[in-house]
A and B are shown apart, each in its own frame.
Chain A
């Protein structure tokens, strides 16, 4: 690689980084990822905290013999999956569109 070509790549790199679409794409993705990660942490460690500190709550009857803890545990699994679904939905509909837009700019 010659000095000149590496310089021109650097220039495009900086241009892309300064591009408003790229900026919005990366900040949106970071926001979504962080929010969903925090939600997942709260969900799981909330469940663990309930077991550690409030067994009585989980031991209440929900329906017949079924305790409230059972739907909560199953719900934790199900919600985790829903979170991945939310991410997929956002990424397919928003993120990929922005990625395509930025790619077109670079290609052009």
Chain B
């Protein structure tokens, strides 16, 4: 039975603040402790390679599971049902690929960044410049997406203004990385993973307790409320090619994320590296399975109506479920966990960005590999501050913007610019410097350009107003089709007339939606409508005032909708053709990744590099048995 109770979400919540302060104090304490142990580049970038496989598995999970996957997937499941589940599968399947193809050679061949591996037997400077560009673009796009998400979520949960939330997240993330380097970042990620997995587990146990530990009961109630369609795949995948392309980007993009790859240098050897992927995959998979239960549980226990009234995308499904089952205490705990989740991810990203800047660009390109350790750490710290401030500024700049495409772009670039060059450098003897550089830039440029020309940016953002007008026109056309027409020479029956009125009103509402001011006006009026308390009737005075409000709304609809239709919809749709994407797929992964591989192969085949081929023998031995790998 859905309960439409009130919620404390979005208000000042002392319990949440208490948990949050506790988290900040303990992580800053760890940062202080870590700062004393962070002296060399090995400490700063790689936590002295002292992280165990199990710890790194947790930290990888903490690095990877973003607030978007915690709140977003539960929200998608609660509002879209089975389609939400498809997402959770897609986010996991890149991990086995990391294990089978990347983790061990990466650990054996690299030092601090994945560019170390690509540049292992090739020309250092061009490779490092290209690989650092790929890393920095991935880090920045992902950081913007995280920052905007963080500002919005914290505003939703704590009622804090967007800008303050962004500055708070930015300041904390800079502090962790600046003072505590990889040691502090690792522990922030481990603690976050523990809190997130623990919190989600408790939430699932409480949900199942509600259904007497019967999934049959949970799903049958979900079906009763939202119909059998809720438990079936729906409209998410319309074009198989689109789905395949997104799938490729998710799968191989995971294996090309610089902040994930960097974590493999924190463990002592290849054995620990592979072990950490096993644990990470287990933790992340377990977590995604939990979010599915949380999503369906929220749909039944909280109800879609309340979830979507607070956030259209359903992001608050998890916290609302926590509140319904565990009261304010549990809500506060989970809100703080969401905050910790964001912090752990952005810290990992900042550190990866800073190391691409200092280790690859500064030392590798500008100083040609010659720099004192102290100086390198200093540059890395300056880069941390610079990157942190840039991320905060961009986060504020992108406030209220549609940044959903940025996550797709991040994975597309990671899969196209980083993964092909990394994979070919490990596996293919004849891979050359020219091939690697061409492959990285092809992947980077193609993924970016194609995303801009794709429906997600070209139609949804660049031609936003045209699309909005066409959407309304399409809806109104569809509504008009349903109008009843009287037989020749006869009048409409009263029932048909009433039906037509209803349809006309729906169409008018669609048109009104194009004008924010008028729509806001109507929404404001609607709030004044009173509902009867359960089991009682409305008082005559309430009925009267409700009627007045409805009349007012009808008047506005009648007066404003023709004008808005003419001004905003007709003027656009009659002049401008329906906006079409230049590139048809939502995610360019299949083309940009394919092209990056192809270009890399062609450039390598047409310009043999005998020296690099010779060095491959050493690389091969080190890659397979780890002789000479960084200690």
Contact A22 B231 (CB under 8 A): no
Tell me whether B617 is interfacial, beta carbon within 8 Å: yes
Query: With a CB–CB cut-off of 8 A, which chain B residues contact A51?
Result: 86, 233, 236-237, 243
Query: With a CB–CB cut-off of 8 A, which chain A residues contact B277?
Result: 84
Query: With a CB–CB cut-off of 8 A, which chain A residues contact B430?
Result: none
CA gap between A2 and B406 in the complex, in Å: 51
Least CB distance from A82 to B in Å reads 9
Most buried by A among B231, B240, B243, B620: B231
Query: With a CB–CB cut-off of 8 A, which chain A residues contact B627?
Result: 103, 106
Select one of B85, B92, B244 contacting A48, CB under 8 A: B244
CA gap between A47 and B86 in the complex, in Å: 9
CA gap between A25 and B285 in the complex, in Å: 30
Tell me whether B621 is interfacial, beta carbon within 8 Å: yes
Contact A37 B97 (CB under 8 A): yes
Query: With a CB–CB cut-off of 8 A, which chain B residues contact A49?
Result: 240
Contact A77 B95 (CB under 8 A): no
Query: With a CB–CB cut-off of 8 A, which chain A residues contact B97?
Result: 37, 40
Contact B93 A59 (CB under 8 A): no
Contact A65 B219 (CB under 8 A): yes
Question: Secondary structure of the A side of the interface?
Answer: helix
Least CB distance from A69 to B in Å reads 6
Contact B89 A76 (CB under 8 A): yes
| Given A65-B216, A77-B285, A48 and B247 contact (CB-CB distance below 8 Å) | yes
Least CB distance from B163 to A in Å reads 38
Contact B244 A25 (CB under 8 A): no
Question: Secondary structure of the B side of the interface?
Answer: helix
Contact A70 B231 (CB under 8 A): yes
Least CB distance from A30 to B in Å reads 9
CA gap between A41 and B282 in the complex, in Å: 18
Contact A99 B92 (CB under 8 A): no
Query: With a CB–CB cut-off of 8 A, which chain B residues contact A67?
Result: 82, 231-232
Tell me whether B274 is interfacial, beta carbon within 8 Å: yes
Tell me whether B305 is interfacial, beta carbon within 8 Å: no
Contact B281 A80 (CB under 8 A): yes
CA gap between A23 and B99 in the complex, in Å: 21
Contact A55 B620 (CB under 8 A): no
Tell me whether A52 is interfacial, beta carbon within 8 Å: yes
Query: With a CB–CB cut-off of 8 A, which chain B residues contact A45?
Result: 244, 247
Query: With a CB–CB cut-off of 8 A, which chain A residues contact B220?
Result: 64-65
Contact B625 A22 (CB under 8 A): yes
Residue of B nearest to A99 (CB): B625
CA gap between A69 and B243 in the complex, in Å: 17
Select one of B89, B233, B282, B626 contacting A81, CB under 8 A: B282
> What does the 1/0 interface line of B316-359 toward A look like (CB < 8 Å)?
00000000000000000000000000000000000000000000
Least CB distance from B523 to A in Å reads 36
CA gap between A21 and B617 in the complex, in Å: 16
| Given A22-B625, A99-B624, A91 and B219 contact (CB-CB distance below 8 Å) | no
CA gap between A16 and B539 in the complex, in Å: 92
Query: With a CB–CB cut-off of 8 A, which chain A residues contact B99?
Result: 84, 87
Query: With a CB–CB cut-off of 8 A, which chain A residues contact B240?
Result: 48-49, 52-53
> What does the 1/0 interface line of B603-631 toward A look like (CB < 8 Å)?
00000000000000110110011110000
Within 8 A of B (CB), among A19-43: 22, 25-26, 29, 32-33, 36-37, 40-41, 43
Select one of A63, A73, A76 contacting B216, CB under 8 A: A63
Query: With a CB–CB cut-off of 8 A, which chain A residues contact B621?
Result: 13, 16-17, 22
Contact B93 A44 (CB under 8 A): yes
Contact B292 A74 (CB under 8 A): yes
Tell me whether B593 is interfacial, beta carbon within 8 Å: no
Tell me whether B565 is interfacial, beta carbon within 8 Å: no
Tell me whether B96 is interfacial, beta carbon within 8 Å: yes
Least CB distance from A107 to B in Å reads 10
Query: With a CB–CB cut-off of 8 A, which chain A residues contact B232?
Result: 55, 58-59, 67, 69
Tell me whether B251 is interfacial, beta carbon within 8 Å: yes
Select one of B95, B100, B285, B617 contacting A36, CB under 8 A: B100
Tell me whether B46 is interfacial, beta carbon within 8 Å: no
Select one of B96, B219, B243, B625 contacting A80, CB under 8 A: B96
Within 8 A of A (CB), among B239-253: 239-240, 243-244, 247, 251
Contact B219 A66 (CB under 8 A): yes
CA gap between A73 and B625 in the complex, in Å: 37
Most buried by B among A41, A44, A66: A44
Within 8 A of B (CB), among A84-105: 84-85, 87-88, 91-92, 96, 99, 102-103
Most buried by B among A51, A77, A81: A77
CA gap between A102 and B222 in the complex, in Å: 58
CA gap between A55 and B282 in the complex, in Å: 28
Least CB distance from A8 to B in Å reads 13
- 22 A/B residue pairs, CB under 8 Å, sorted by A: A14-B617, A33-B101, A40-B97, A48-B240, A48-B244, A49-B240, A51-B233, A52-B237, A59-B228, A63-B216, A64-B219, A65-B223, A65-B231, A69-B233, A73-B85, A76-B89, A78-B285, A78-B289, A81-B281, A87-B99, A99-B624, A102-B625
Q: Measuring CB to CB, which residues of chain A are less than 8 angstroms from any residue of chain B? A: 13-14, 16-17, 22, 25-26, 29, 32-33, 36-37, 40-41, 43-45, 47-49, 51-53, 55, 58-59, 63-67, 69-70, 73-74, 76-78, 80-81, 83-85, 87-88, 91-92, 96, 99, 102-103, 106
7 tightest Cβ-Cβ pairs between the two chains A and B = A52-B240, A59-B232, A65-B223, A65-B220, A64-B216, A65-B219, A33-B100
